[in-house]
Amino acid sequence: MRNSGHEATLTLTLADSRNFGWDITAGGSHNTNKIETLGFKPDGTPNPTVGTGTNRDSVGFPIRGIYVRPYTFDDANKNGIIEPSEVFVAKDVVFNGYSVPRDIVTIQNGFDVFQRKLHLSVLLDYKGGFSLLNQTTQFYCLNTNTCHDLTNKDTPLEYQARAIAQRFVNPSTGAATTTAGFYENGQFWRLREVGATIIVPQGLATRLRARDASLSLTGRNLHVWTHYQGTDPEANYSTGNVQTDFSTTAPPTYFSVRLNLHY
């Protein structure tokens, strides 16, 4: 396998005075990988692929790539309802993208205020360049009665089509079904952490028999910005090497308080 990419970190001090300080650290990476060879078959010919599932390894493509049958649809009778005869699924699978993030960015902001006695920090995370199986919706849509895409008359046509494509075979083509429509862009920004650390007055620190002290308040996983329709782009049901969102809770939001005493 061949891996290549770019990675960079930039640290800036935007303000530095007795009463106020502001610094930013930004880091990012972009990765590309490609399988060069998968060895040989017993007859000596090269192995073109390993595996037959949605995630497989194929020469010339990324490791654990996504392979699904593409489909098209057309509301031919213009009645606002996609019917099995209006969905056309291809017979062969095609490469549908990376299953792990290719792009990762972190941005850390730090502020010192009130004569640098209070430090504030904000951490943003970004991941993109990959697709994620919304298996929660896909699983529910195996049954018409539990599939929002098929029971809500206001559901957009593309959502109706993805549910039809995985459940019904077009009688005119006889092609197989596909879960392609449930692979969504996993791109997101997350407000990963906001923190504040205040220097405890020296008199109070002395009463605590400490040389100095500080109090830290932190909130983590506070908000996410994404177009992903599942529970959360970081929810993970699978214990394997490919993330799967299947009725899994999002990373919890939690808060912590810590008193630091230096003796």
Q: Tens digits of per-residue pLDDT, 2-59?
A: 999 999 999 999 999 989 999 999 999 999 999 999 999 999 999 999 988 899 999 9
Q: pTM of whole model > 0.85?
A: yes
Rounded CA gap, 178 and 164, in Å?
9
Specify the length of the chain in residues.
Answer: 263
Phi, psi of 2 (to 5 degrees): -110, 125
DSSP state of 2: E
Average pLDDT over the chain reads 92
- Mean pLDDT value across residues 200-205: 86
Residue 55 near residue 99, CB atoms below 8 Å: yes
Would the pLDDT of 87 be above 80?
yes
**Cβ contacts of residue 201 below 8 Å, gap of 6+?**
none
- Six token digits for residue 232: 């959360």
**Cα 48 to chain center, whole Å?**
29
Looking at residue 174, its pLDDT comes to 66
In the block, residue with structure tokens 């952490």: 193
For 183, residues 6+ apart whose C-beta sits below 8 A from its C-beta are 66, 68, 96, 97, 131, 132, 133, 134
What mean pLDDT comes out for the span 210-227?
95
Amino acid (one-letter) located at 180:
A
Q: What is the pLDDT of residue 173?
A: 66
The pLDDT tens digits for 93-143 are 999 999 999 999 999 999 999 989 999 999 999 999 999 999 999 999 988
In 3-state terms, the chain is what percent helix, strand and coil (to 5)?
A: 15, 45, 45
